[in-house]
Amino acid sequence: TKRTIYYLLFSSMTSPSLTIGTALLAFSPTLTLLFLIILPKPQLTILSVVAAFAYLLSAFGSSLIWLIFNAIFQFTNRNQENSIGALLALTVPSVLMQWFVRMQFVKLYFGVEDVIRKSVAKHEAEESMDVTTNNTTNNTTGTQQQQQQHAETNALQLQLNDLSCSLASGTG
């Protein structure tokens, strides 16, 4: 099996350096985004994995649609080649399936963002209530308490912007 893998990767028509070079050329932009931007932030890593799962779901749905339509076209055109109509009938539903799954992914992402915003707002309201009750008992200054409150809020919030999220989703 090692010999077969070696032969498939490094057949007589290509040298190992050419194979490795073309692989690096093809995958280096994606790997650069992955290692420099996405992997250092755990939220972006999760987002990238969920985006990859959404893509796999769309590919699975497209495959099911293709399997059904292909069986129908082979049954109706028994001895004929695939026609342009059959190829379009297979392509258009696959594109629509990917569009639908991506739209559901974006809808899910905005829903999660909304839940996080509400959770942070609720936490800030609870903290402001605690600050007002603690102000009467403690002698700490208001700026120290505000700094502590902002540190907690920043820890709870996802530090994501649209560019980083779109890069993570696209890489996934």
28-48 residue pLDDT tens? 988 888 898 888 888 888 888
pLDDT of 17 reads: 77
Beta-carbon contacts of 79 under 8 Å, excluding residues fewer than 6 positions away, are: none
Please write down the HEC assignment for all residues of 55-106.
HHHHHHHHHHHHHHHHHHHHHHCCCCCCCHHHHHHHHHHHHHHHHHHHHHHH
Segment 106-161, tens digit of pLDDT: 888 888 888 887 887 787 788 777 766 665 555 555 566 556 656 666 655 555 56
CB 97 within 8 A of CB 63: no
Residue 52 in this model has a pLDDT that exceeds 80: yes
When mean pLDDT is compared across 10-14, 55-59, 137-141, the lowest value belongs to 137-141
Lowest pLDDT segment from 13-17, 150-154, 165-169: 150-154
pLDDT of residue 87: 75
Contacts 24+ apart (CB under 8 A), 164-170: 164/37, 164/41, 164/44, 165/44, 165/47, 165/109, 167/33, 167/37, 167/38, 167/44, 168/37, 168/38, 168/44, 168/45, 168/47, 168/48, 168/51, 169/47, 169/48, 169/51, 169/105, 169/109, 170/51
| pLDDT tens-digit series, residues 60-84 | 998 898 888 778 877 776 656 656 7
Asked if 50 contacts 172 with a C-beta cutoff of 8 angstroms, the reply is yes
Res. 57 pLDDT band, cuts 50 70 90: very high
CA 110 to mean position of chain CA atoms: 13
Question: 105 and 54 in contact (C-beta within 8 Å)?
Answer: yes
Q: Could you please report the per-residue DSSP string of 1-41?
A: -HHHHHHHHS-TTS-HHHHHHHHHHHHHHHHHHIIIIITTS
